[in-house]
Amino acid sequence: MREWSGDTVTGLTSHAADIRDAKRVLEVVQEARPEWIVLAAAYTDVDGCESKPELAFAANRDGAVNVAAAAKQVGARLVFLSSDYVFDGKKTTPYETGEARNPQSVYGRTKAEAEIRLLELMPDCCIARTSWLFGVGGKCFPDTILKLAASRPALDVVNDQRGSPTYAEDLARAIIQLCRKNATGIVHATNAGDCTWFEFAEEIVKSSGLATTVRPVSSQQMARPAPRPAYSVLSPARLRTLGIEMPSWHDALRRYLEQRQRMS
């Protein structure tokens, strides 16, 4: 909402429309009559999805179908936010957009099934897969690390999951361009470069001038209910064919830290 200018943009919260409610979704879409709908809403608690699969599929897959059906009814285009977790993480080179999905978690399955259903229902929709989002004003990895680092001499962070941290502001700019360029199909939209969570945490602590030691640990040592892909770097090749380039995650982190400082 902050990034978009020059167009009329309506922001809808879960209170305005629960995407599981097809009738309500159609009502709000008919009222707004948008040219584009950006669907970012989802049940994003990856571990919660393991214990609440019904809620996860109802929101992430069926809710997305409800929004796509409403978009179709009013002739709106759709950008659907999807995830690197649709892949199994067994590769060691970046995933291209056309590679086979093989999600390992309930959350990943909900997103993979949503993608398939949306492409059937609305072949010209745009699916923007992203990863490891962070941004000001909400709970995110850098914010958690900084809060913990302020009170602890050492932090343990997993060093066997590799991905691309992505600044919400940069993703928002990419989404706006996708709409302006009438993009269709699957695109990967992440900040450039990759790292492990440990390397990301080290950079956050170092860039903030904190003395906290960051120690690498394995995913096994920090067991979580949902499995995470060991490698989920997404290739920007398709995004580049659309003339869209995203900055490096190092640059994005620097801007995030400046913005966080300004807002504190």
Ligand X SMILES: NC(=O)c1ccc[n+]([C@@H]2O[C@H](COP(=O)([O-])OP(=O)(O)OC[C@H]3O[C@@H](n4cnc5c(N)ncnc54)[C@H](OP(=O)(O)O)[C@@H]3O)[C@@H](O)[C@H]2O)c1
Which residues does 218 contact at the CB level (< 8 Å), separation at least 6?
158, 159, 160
Per CB under 6 A, the list member of 6, 11, 123, 138 interacting with ligand X is 138
Q: What is residue 70's three-state secondary structure?
A: helix
Question: Site mask, ligand X, residues 96-115, x = CB under 6 A?
Answer: --------------------
| Pairing verdict, β 195-196 and 162-163 | antiparallel
CB 50 within 8 A of CB 105: yes
For 68, the token pair is: 């796509």
Q: What are phi and psi of 82, to 5 degrees?
A: -120, -170
Position 216, amino acid: P
Question: Site mask, ligand X, residues 13-32, x = CB under 6 A?
Answer: xx---xxx------------
**DSSP strand E in 118-169: where?**
126-130, 133-134, 154-158, 162-163, 166-167
* Residue nearer to ligand X on the CB measure, 85 or 212: 85
Length of the chain: 264
Of 43, 85, 95, 107, which residue is the catalytic one? 107
Q: Is 107 an active-site residue? A: yes
Q: What minimum distance in Å lies between the beta carbon of 106 and ligand X?
A: 13
* Residue nearer to ligand X on the CB measure, 81 or 158: 81
CB 134 within 8 A of CB 141: yes
* Residue nearer to ligand X on the CB measure, 130 or 212: 130
Instruction: Please state the separation of Cα 78 from the chain's center in Å.
Output: 16
Per CB under 6 A, the list member of 104, 130, 191, 212 interacting with ligand X is 130
Query: Which stretch, 126-134, 177-185, 204-212, 226-234, contacts ligand X (CB under 6 A)?
Result: 126-134
Q: What is residue 76's three-state secondary structure?
A: coil
- Hey, which residues between 29 and 88 contact ligand X (CB under 6 A)? 40-44, 59, 63, 81, 83
When asked if residue 132 is in the footprint of ligand X (CB under 6 A), the reply is yes
* Residue nearer to ligand X on the CB measure, 20 or 255: 20
* Residue nearer to ligand X on the CB measure, 38 or 205: 38
Catalytic annotation, residues? 107
Binding site for ligand X (CB under 6 A): 13-14, 18-20, 40-44, 59, 63, 81, 83, 130-133, 138
